[in-house]
Structure 1
Amino acid sequence: MYDSTDIQNNKGMAILAYILFFVPLIAAKDSKFAWYHANQGLTLFLAAVAANVVLGILPFIGWLLLPFANLAVVVLAILGIVAAAQGQVKPLPVIGSYTLL
């Protein structure tokens, strides 16, 4: 399904997708591999924003849970970066099944 030359040529863009999800959308328009990881990065970004907004509004309990939610975002980003660096097309746990792009 994913071309091995596409994977080799766009690993860097796929890794970058977990830091700045929009860069692969501009720089690697024709790469399915980079777009897959850009989608995962966008999903992770939106989940992080939603968690921060919701938990930031909730007094006390939300404020206590916010560091754990942010830690989970960092862990998911690392899992995505590792998968991209290994040339894998593997969805992130919990949020990886959503396709936005």
Structure 2
Amino acid sequence: MHTPNPNLPDPQADPRDIEENKTIGALAYLLFFLPLLAARNSRFAMYHANQGLLLLLALVAGNIVLGIIPLIGWLLIPLLNLVCFVYLILGVMNAVNGRMNPLPFMPNIDILK
């Protein structure tokens, strides 16, 4: 469960923005750039686009690092891919339910503004 950091503001979006952009927010986990094209001014959609991009970068970096490590790394790649798939499902569920919760253990970095 995510505990909010008291030093950071809790991300919120306008209820109208959430209702209008739930689908784009959910699709952002499959195509992170979609909100950049379809909902650039939506705080909700851009939040999920950022989360989707962070997930993609973690997946690519993890696969590269584990792919370099012989045997043990190669055995861990399917586990990493499964975890990323579960995170993708969590992110889509957050978007569909109108929540702006960060994915567990993901860094709080804003790549897309």
1:42 aligned to which of 53, 77, 86: 53
Question: Residues 40-97 of structure 1, C-alpha deviation per residue, up to 9 Å, x if partnerless?
Answer: 0000000000011111111101001000000010000100000000000100001152
Tell me which moved more, 41-50 or 91-100: 91-100
Which blocks of at least 5 consecutive residues in structure 2 are unaligned?
Answer: 1-11
Q: Pick from 13, 19, 27: which aligns with 2:24?
A: 13
**Contact 1:24–1:34 (8 Å) recurs in 2:** yes
**Contact 1:18 1:81 (C-alpha < 8 Å) held by counterparts:** yes
Of 34, 53, 56, the match for 1:23: 34
Mapped partners of 2:107, 2:38: distance in 1: 23
- Whichever residue aligns with residue 28 of structure 2, its letter is A
Q: Percent identity?
A: 53
**Partner residue, 2:71:** 60
Q: Cα RMSD over matched residues?
A: 0.9
The AA in structure 2 aligned to 1:67 is P
How far apart are the structure 1 equivalents of 2:43 and 2:66?
A: 34
Tell me, in whole angstroms, the C-alpha distance in 2 between the residues paired with 1:9 and 1:45. 25
Deviating above 3 A after TM superposition, structure 1's stretches of 4 or more consecutive aligned residues are none
Q: How many residues align?
A: 101
Q: Which has the higher helix share?
A: 1
Structure 1 counterpart of 2:15, one-letter code: S
Q: Normalising by structure 2, what TM-score?
A: 0.86
Consecutive unaligned residues in structure 1, runs of 5 or more: none
TM-score by length of 1: 0.96
